[in-house]
Amino acid sequence: MKENTASFVTARNNVTILGQGSQVMVFAHGFGCDQNMWRYVAPAFLHDYKVVLFDHVGAGHSDLSQFDAVKYGTLHGYAKDVLEICRLAGGRDIIFVGHSVSALIGILAAIKAPEMFNKLILVGPSPGYINDGDYIGGFERSNIEELLEFMDSNYLGWSSAMAPAIMGNRDRPGLAVELENSFCRTDPEIARHFARTTFLSDHRADLDKLTVPSLILQCSDDVIAPQAVGEYLHRHLANSTFVLMQATGHCPNLSAPDETIEAIARYLPRPTTGKGHH
């Protein structure tokens, strides 16, 4: 049964395991992306860590037949998958690196099973995208409703309009093209569903339940997760470290991989190699 479970999880999430270390580092991609978005960052950690990459169901080469609208109607469904992937990879002392919505998915996973995680690296995280009283999420509810309606009526048009806004770095248009192509490779039905789950989620009330230490990597000039959001997370997450990056836009894993690698490496203690030198 255990073997079947492992192969099932591997196929469902297109899990890739690389690297030489004994400590596991899991990379989780954001909305409309897949594990390929980590290709400039993950290789830097292959020498010191066992690196795990995967695609959320509906993304990349995941098994689309496993998509369940009820399960994935909340971020908890994705967090459940993350815990299964983490168990597959060894299930303890894990460094979890989550971009965008996956940062919150990682937080939910670590609240459910804190004993499995060593540290969380949260890249462009947001606990809620909609402004609410004193809380600045970056969007009015009407903005989000319009965005979701646009997506429902014209997914490809939405992709080409949104990709440059999300990516920023207008002087490097190739980055937005890559993000747009990634959106277009994602199954539109599932993408629309994931967008609703992502943009309508509000996990502010969960933040004080997290005990695992975290690093918040906040980009400058990020339209999806503005600086006020990163600072809010920093205030509400115990044991969190806040770094304001020079990188702009919402995808520093693509636009500023060197700065991203350096910020992560600076935060993590030097790992013990798998060769018994502790």
d(CA 41, CA 53): 11
Q: Is 250 a catalytic residue?
A: yes
Q: Is 201 a catalytic residue?
A: no
Sheet containing 24-28: order of strands: 16-19, 50-53, 24-28, 94-99, 117-123, 214-220, 240-248
d(CA 138, CA 228): 9
In this structure, the strands spanning 94-99 and 117-123 are: parallel
Q: Is 126 a catalytic residue?
A: no
Catalytic-role residue among 99, 159, 222, 255: 222
d(CA 168, CA 220): 10
Catalytic-role residue among 100, 126, 182, 255: 100
Neighbours of 168 (CB within 10 A): 23
Catalytic-role residue among 55, 203, 250, 255: 250
Q: Write out the catalytic residue numbers.
A: 100, 222, 250
